[in-house]
């Protein structure tokens, strides 16, 4: 077979998405180009690898075998890249680490700094993604490890999750808001879907997470304004522009500078913890194992 690594990555993207269209998007390819490459892969293999159905694709038995070996090949590629970069004293190269919005802005900086200070040759590329994207990327072998929320669905993904810190989501509202005036101690997300919201910037992983749950309830969030930072959201809310949803630690930290009331959300998806996430400890690169151990991983 004449498969290259890009062919293997495309095939895994399609398998994990269960759709050629979505798989092509994940692989950053046009649909026509992805479809043609998949046909070439099957012709080269001499056997059907994907069964096309009205609502997507599923792997044949041969396709499952290819997916299994593709994951191992791509993992070995990452290990080779890592090992070659570690021959000099200390770690060197670039370590790519994925994390949710809150982990990147509130948790990682103070945890990552002392570790990175001991590795002057190492560069870290932090990438913000939703917990779902990270967990599926780790499961498919395209991502080594990351930090996700424990509310992400991991059934059947064969992942290891280790809780790090509480990250519950809460409503923040101005003192004049009717929920505050009523003395509410908690609120369900569905009760808020008619409110005006102050949101985070487009593409923000946390904002996408909130919007996803609004969509599941059959509604869109009414956003008056989007802010780039958590502090910006608190500033707007404190002036009565709207309500917001933030992690409890963030809300408490900014409450002093930007007075607003905190009301816990009762929804199960809001009762979150940040977790380290990986698949197979023995397959992680040495720098990644070092970072996860520093963060508190106990494999």
Q: Are 152 and 172 in contact (CB under 8 A)?
A: no
Predicted local confidence at residue 73, as pLDDT: 92
- Strand order across the 244-247 sheet: 244-247, 169-173, 261-264
Predicted local confidence at residue 244, as pLDDT: 97
Predicted local confidence at residue 299, as pLDDT: 82
Instruction: Encode the chain (299 residues) as per-residue pLDDT tens digits.
Output: 678 899 999 999 999 999 999 999 999 999 999 999 999 999 988 999 999 998 899 999 999 999 999 999 998 888 887 767 664 434 567 889 999 888 888 889 999 999 999 888 888 999 988 888 899 999 988 999 999 988 777 777 889 999 998 889 999 999 999 999 999 999 999 999 999 999 999 878 788 889 999 999 999 899 999 999 999 999 999 999 999 999 998 899 898 889 899 999 999 889 889 999 999 999 998 889 999 999 999 88
Predicted local confidence at residue 86, as pLDDT: 60
3-state secondary structure of 147: strand
Residues 54-84 pLDDT 10s: 889 999 999 999 999 999 999 888 888 776 7
Q: pTM (2 decimals)?
A: 0.59
- Domains in the chain, ordered, with CATH? 5-83 (1.10.10.10), 91-165+273-295 (3.40.190.10), 169-270 (3.40.190.10)
- Quickly tell me which residue has 């509480």 as its tokens: 166
Predicted local confidence at residue 34, as pLDDT: 92
3-state secondary structure of 76: helix
Q: Where are the beta strands (DSSP E) in the chain?
A: 50-53, 56-59, 93-99, 122-128, 145-149, 160-166, 169-173, 196-200, 222-227, 244-247, 261-264, 273-278
Q: Are 296 and 164 in contact (CB under 8 A)?
A: yes
């Amino acid at each position: 077979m004449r498969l290259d690594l890009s062919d293997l990555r495309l095939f895994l993207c399609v398998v994990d998405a269960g759709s050629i269209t979505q798989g092509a998007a994940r692989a950053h390819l046009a649909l026509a180009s992805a479809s043609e490459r998949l046909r070439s892969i099957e012709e080269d293999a001499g056997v059907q690898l994907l069964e096309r159905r009205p609502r997507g694709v599923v792997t044949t038995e041969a396709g499952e075998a290819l997916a299994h070996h593709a994951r191992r090949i791509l993992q070995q590629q990452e290990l080779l890249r890592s090992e070659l970069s570690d021959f000099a004293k200390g770690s060197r190269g670039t370590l790519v680490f994925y994390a949710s919005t809150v982990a990147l802005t509130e948790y990682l900086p103070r945890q990552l700094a002392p570790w990175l200070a001991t590795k002057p040759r190492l560069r870290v590329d932090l990438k913000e993604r939703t917990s779902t994207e990270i967990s599926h990327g780790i499961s498919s072998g395209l991502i080594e490890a990351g930090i996700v929320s424990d509310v992400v669905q991991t059934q059947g993904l064969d992942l290891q999750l280790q809780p790090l810190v509480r990250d519950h989501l809460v409503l923040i509202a101005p003192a004049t808001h009717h929920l505050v005036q009523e003395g509410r101690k908690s609120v369900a997300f569905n009760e808020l879907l008619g409110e005006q919201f102050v949101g985070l910037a487009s593409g923000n992983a946390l904002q996408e997470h909130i919007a996803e749950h609004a969509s599941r309830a059959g509604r869109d969030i009414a956003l008056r304004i989007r802010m780039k930072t958590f502090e910006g959201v608190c500033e707007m809310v404190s002036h009565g522009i709207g309500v917001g949803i933030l992690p409890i630690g963030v809300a408490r930290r900014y409450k002093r500078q930007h007075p607003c009331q905190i009301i816990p959300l009762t929804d199960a998806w809001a009762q979150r913890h940040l977790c380290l996430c990986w698949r197979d400890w023995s397959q992680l690169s040495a720098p990644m194992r070092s970072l996860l151990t520093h963060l508190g991983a106990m494999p």
